[in-house]
Amino acid sequence: MPRIGVTGHVRLAAGTAELVYAGLTAALAAHDSPLHGVTCLADGADQLFARAVAELGGTYEVVLPAADYRNLVADPKAFDDLLGKAIRVDYLPYPEAGPAAYFAASAELLGRVDHLIAVWDGAPSDVVSSTANVVRTAQERGLPVTVLWPAGARRA
C-alpha cells in the first residue's frame, strides 16, 4: 500500500482550492490502490488532500503539531469532520502551535511516507515550517517528491 504524505500552502486564493483538489485527485489516482495518506490536516492543501484520499477510497492518518491546533484552523467543523474520518490521530507533545511544532509534525510525517506531494508554488523560503523547507528536507532524505501547482493557482 503506498503511503503518501502532503505538504502545501495554507492560504489559497479564490478558485485555487478547486484546481488543487482536481490536481491532487489526479496525482493520487496514479498510485496503486489502496491508498494511505498522511497529513497534518492544516487549512488549504492538507485538508484538500484528506478529502481527495477519502474520495478515492483510501485511508489517512493525521499528525497534529500541538494540543491547541484546532483553535487555529479556519473552519473547525470541516476540520473535525476530516479528523473524525482519520484511522489514526497523533498529537505531538507541543502545548502550542508554532514554527517548531509545525516543522516537527512535518518531519514526523516524512518519516511515515514513501512519497510526498507538495502543493507548492516553488517560491523559496528559509522559514523552518515553510513548504519549501519541508520539500528540501524530503529531498535530502531521498524521498520522492511530486510538486503540484496547477496553472492558474494562486496563494491568498
pLDDT of 152 reads 97
Residue where the block lists cell 505538504: 7
Residue 39 lies in a domain: yes
Candidates 42, 86, 48, 85; CA nearest to 66 is 42
Position 83 scores a pLDDT of 98
Sheet strands (E) in 10-152 = 36-39, 59-64, 88-91, 115-119, 145-148
**What end-to-end distance do the CA atoms of the chain give, in Å?**
35
Where in the sequence is the domain holding 62, given as residue range(s)?
8-12+15-96+106-115+131-148
| 124 in any annotated domain | no
Give the mean pLDDT per block of 10 residues along the chain (156 residues).
95 97 97 94 98 97 97 95 98 95 97 98 93 97 98 96
User: Which set of grid coordinates corresponds to residue 22?
Assistant: 482536481
74 neighbors 43 (Cβ within 8 angstroms): yes
Number of domains in the chain: 1
111 belongs to a structural domain: yes
Q: How far apart are CA 36 and CA 18, in angstroms?
A: 22
Identify whether 68 is part of a domain: yes
The set of residues, in sequence order, having a beta carbon less than 8 Å from that of 34 and lying 6+ positions away, is 1, 57, 58, 59
In a domain, 1, yes or no: no
Q: How do residues 13-54 score in pLDDT, each as one tens digit? A: 999 999 999 999 999 999 988 999 999 999 999 999 999 999
* Residue 120 belongs to some domain of the structure: no
Q: From the CA atom positions of the chain, what is the Rg in Å?
A: 14
Within-domain flag for 2: no
- Asked if residue 121 is part of any domain, the answer here is no
Instruction: Report the length, in residues, of the chain.
Output: 156
Read off the CATH number of the domain in which 92 is found: 3.40.50.450
pTM listed for this prediction: 0.96
Spatial distance between the Cα atoms of 39 and 87, rounded to a whole number of angstroms: 12
**DSSP state letters, 118-154:** EE--------TTSHHHHHHHHHHTT--EEEE--TT--
